[in-house]
Amino acid sequence: MPSPPPDSSAARTPSPDQYSPGERVLLLRLAHEAIESALEARPTPLAPPNKHLTENRGVFTTLYSNGHLRGCVGYVFPVLPLYRAVFETARAAASQDTRFSPVTLEEAPTLKVSLSVLSNVSPTTPEQIEIGKHGLIVSFGTRRGLLLPQVPVEHNWDSLTFLQQTCRKAGLPADAWQNGATLDVFTAEVFGDPSAPA
């Protein structure tokens, strides 16, 4: 089941152009189709668009409505082929992000989709975290908080604030990163519909 976020080192980092413009268009169309077919209660034949998109990858699908966040759900780990992960996380972002009411059929055509395709996750230290490059995961016991790489850029956070805010997303004290919590980072190739927030 895809997991919503609570609101990166030897990682295999995808190059900025790992996915061609055509593949990006295919994945974005797939996300929209996943949402609309669910709302219309119609079956959707799901076939791999090409071999490249059948590689298992972690991905987050973020939805925007009128420039505002409308839902975000993802797989942190590469448990499904990318095209299937996009399909499932798009549907979940539209209906299962508990911070928002489910997307309606009327608003679906106006949604903007942004996809973040994740690298592998790897352990890190606070000194290695790079703002704008790394997404961050803070874990302690059964609690885990995740923020995508674009989040600290959007909010103009420094590394300390990024660490603190990710701890808070996990429901932990802001200084948990200094008191036994583990840190992992990842990178993400981010692309979306025209006019979707970066």
Do residues 158 and 115 share a domain?
A: no
Q: For 38-166, list the strands marked E by DSSP.
A: 58-65, 68-75, 112-118, 122-123, 135-140, 143-147
Handedness of CA 93, 74, 23, 82 (dihedral sign): negative
170 occurs within a structural domain: yes
7 occurs within a structural domain: no
Do residues 76 and 95 share a domain?
A: yes
pLDDT higher than threshold 50 for residue 1: no
Do residues 135 and 111 share a domain?
A: no
122-123 and 143-147 strand pairing: unpaired
49 occurs within a structural domain: yes
In tens, the pLDDT along 77-96 reads 999 999 999 999 999 999 99
Domain residues for the domain of 144 are 122-186
Q: What is the pTM of this model?
A: 0.83
How many domains is the chain partitioned into structurally? Answer: 2
Can you give the CATH number for the domain in which 29 is found?
A: 3.30.700.20
Beta partners for 56? 81
Do residues 51 and 133 share a domain?
A: no
Measured CA to CA, the distance from residue 133 to residue 124 in angstroms comes to 13
Do residues 26 and 102 share a domain?
A: yes
Task: Check residue 16 and give its pLDDT.
Answer: 53
Do residues 115 and 25 share a domain?
A: yes
In tens, the pLDDT along 35-94 reads 999 999 998 888 888 999 999 999 999 999 998 999 999 999 999 999 999 999 999 999
8 occurs within a structural domain: no
Do residues 83 and 141 share a domain?
A: no
